[in-house]
Structure formats: C-alpha cells, structure tokens
C-alpha cells in the first residue's frame, strides 16, 4: 500500500551557501539517504523560500533530498535582490548546485512558480532530469499574470479590493507597475506596506479553507518583501521565459515521466494550465484533487504529492546506503 501522509520531521544532514555570481549566494541543504534517489525541491513565488516541512514529502530512507533558496529568497543573499535575477540565472544556479553536490541527474519537484522553473530547467537540461512532480501548474503566460493581478477578484472580491485600494485611484489601471514602483523603492516606509498588501492578497487566495500559517507568513516583513518584490519583478518581465513559452518546449521532456497534482479549486493557478500541459505531454499523469485550492499543505494536495514521490521511489533506482 502506497503511503499518502507526510513523513516524520527530519533534520538536514548538511547545508551551506554557494556563490553563484553577480553578487548572489544561495542557501542549500541536504537530508535523507546519502546514496538515495536525488530529488531537488523548487519553491514557489518566485521569492517564497524553503522550509523544513518541505523535506517531509519524501521518504528519507529512499531519497537524497535537496532544498535550496532561489536568488533573493529565504536565506539566500542579498535578500529580495532582483539584480541579475532571471529565469536563466536560476536555471544556471541549479546546474551549479547539481555539480557542486556531484549529482548526475535528479527528480525535479516544484509547485506553483516552482513548476514553472522545473519545466524551464527540464527543457534546458533534459539529460539531468529523472522525472517531474509538479503541483499547481503555472506556465508563466501573460493571461496567467493578468489573472493574478485582476481576475481573482471574481472569487475573492473583498480581498482584491483591499489589494487594489492600497494603490491610489489614479494608478489602479496598472496595478502591477504601481506595486512594482513601491516594492523597488529603497525606503522601507514605501516598500514594506506594499509588500504586506501583496503577500496578504496572495495568501488569502491560496487555500480552499484559510490556513493560519499562511496568513502569518504574509505578516513577516522579510518573507513578504522577498515574495512581493521578486514576484513583481518577474511578472513585469513575463517571467523571463522564451518566446513561445513552456508548452512549445514540452517535446524536449516528453520522454520523461511526470505527475501533475492540481487542486480543482485553485484560484491562484487555475486548472486550465495543468490541463493544457497534460494535453501537450501525453505521458504525464494529471491528478485532480477535488477538495483543494492552491496550497501544497492542503490535506488532499499533500496526500497526492506524497503518493507521487512514493510511486517514483518504486520506478527510479533504489538507494544503496542510508545516511
């Protein structure tokens, strides 16, 4: 019987900071089996960072679990840094980290923006991927960005109103640019209130039912600024993705196994994107969670993600030694 509950809490076995150029240093950590199946966890946002709970999607007896904070996020420095912070930079960082850890190829696990980065990385380096577990698919298309900035008001009108009314009426025709100006202002009196409003908006729309932990994280000034500033930077630049987007590049990874987990009532990243990806990727398994929104820790979503890693555990190479 395949397990579907999170694994017990574990500590990281080792961690460090890797200089990746352009003044950026990224935090990384490793846990689980020393010679297990390598898996890299890609956090969302961009800008949200990793947390110890995310180690628990993987059997520590079977997986060599790699978490890292992307440029500007979490414990990486400079915090909320957007200079030299683009999708190609993050792809290059993943390759530097893979080589630093002497990993030949890894399972790529990512949700929300993490699914975007997983697809972009896989299409750039298909020979370094064992497969994919993707959650809450975001393809980085302009209509998905516009949906986040304006469309979600159809489901969360009071939340969107608070988000929009933080901006003076004269600037509301382009909320993204208005927020971006404030989030990139060096004065904390300008960027911190904007960051909190952005983070509250996103967190309030993330779950089918409110989660106290999600609401709390929106109030943390470091987390809120990392998330809001980096997201606005990426949104304004169309996620730094190639012309034609990620669907056009699926042919480069179509031979690799993939499981896509999608909350049926995901308002942040509506199911249409997961559906489009699965249609383009005939071999991918699409799992709809009928009682969930966007958040990875909603009960149905986390069960489906653990089931996916358990299935990959049986189809990919087995560990030799547990550390």
Rounded to a whole number, what is the distance in angstroms from the first to the last CA of the chain? 25
Element (H, E) at 30: strand 24-32
Write the pLDDT tens digit of every residue in 103-147: 999 999 999 999 999 999 999 999 999 999 999 999 999 999 999
Q: What is the dihedral of CA 41, 76, 60, 290, to 10 degrees?
A: -40
What backbone torsions phi and psi does residue 263 show, to the nearest 5 degrees?
Answer: -65, 130
User: What domains, with CATH codes, occur in the chain?
Assistant: 14-141+240-315 (3.40.50.1820), 143-238 (no CATH)
Which active-site residues does the annotation give? Answer: 112, 266, 294
Where is average pLDDT lowest: 65-74, 162-171, 196-205, 207-216? 207-216
Q: Pairing relation of β-strands 63-68 and 37-42?
A: parallel
Q: How many residues does the chain have?
A: 323
Closest CA to 226 of 104, 45, 83, 25: 45
Output the DSSP codes for 272-285. HHHHHHHHH-TT-E
Element (H, E) at 299: helix 299-315
Write the pLDDT tens digit of every residue in 39-83: 999 999 999 999 999 999 999 999 999 999 999 999 999 999 999
Write the pLDDT tens digit of every residue in 138-192: 999 999 999 999 999 999 999 999 999 999 999 999 999 999 999 999 999 999 9
pLDDT, averaged across the chain: 94
Q: Pairing relation of β-strands 63-68 and 258-263?
A: unpaired
**Euclidean distance between CA atoms 209 and 199, whole angstroms:** 17
CB 131 within 8 A of CB 107: yes
């Amino acid at each position: 019987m395949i397990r579907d509950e999170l694994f017990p809490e574990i500590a990281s076995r080792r961690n460090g900071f890797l200089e990746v150029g352009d003044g950026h240093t990224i935090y990384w950590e490793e846990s689980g089996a020393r010679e297990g199946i390598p898996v890299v966890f890609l956090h969302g946002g961009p800008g949200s960072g990793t947390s110890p709970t995310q180690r628990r999607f993987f059997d520590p007896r079977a997986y060599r679990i790699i978490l890292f904070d992307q440029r500007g996020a979490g414990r990486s420095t400079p915090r909320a840094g957007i200079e030299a912070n683009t999708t190609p930079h993050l792809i290059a960082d993943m390759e530097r980290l893979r080589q630093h850890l002497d990993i030949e190829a890894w399972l790529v696990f990512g949700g929300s923006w993490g699914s975007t980065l997983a697809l972009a990385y896989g299409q750039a380096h298909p020979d370094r991927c064992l497969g994919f577990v993707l959650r809450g698919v975001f393809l980085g298309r302009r209509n998905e960005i516009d949906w986040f900035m304006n469309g979600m008001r159809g489901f969360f009108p009071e939340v969107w109103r608070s988000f929009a009314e933080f901006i003076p009426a004269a600037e509301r025709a382009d909320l993204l640019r208005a927020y971006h100006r404030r989030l990139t202002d060096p004065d904390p009196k300008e960027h911190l209130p904007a960051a909190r409003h952005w983070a509250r908006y996103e967190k309030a729309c993330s779950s089918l039912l409110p989660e106290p932990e999600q609401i709390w994280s929106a109030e943390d000034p470091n987390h809120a600024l990392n998330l809001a500033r980096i997201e606005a930077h990426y949104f304004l630049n169309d996620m730094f993705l190639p012309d034609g987007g990620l669907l056009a590049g699926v042919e480069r990874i179509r031979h690799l196994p993939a499981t896509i987990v999608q909350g049926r009532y995901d308002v942040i990243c509506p199911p249409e994107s997961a559906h489009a990806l699965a249609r383009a990727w005939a071999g991918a398994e699409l799992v709809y969670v009928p009682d969930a929104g966007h958040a990875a820790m909603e009960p149905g979503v986390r069960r489906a993600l653990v089931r996916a890693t358990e299935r990959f555990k049986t189809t990919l190479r087995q560990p030799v030694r547990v550390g």
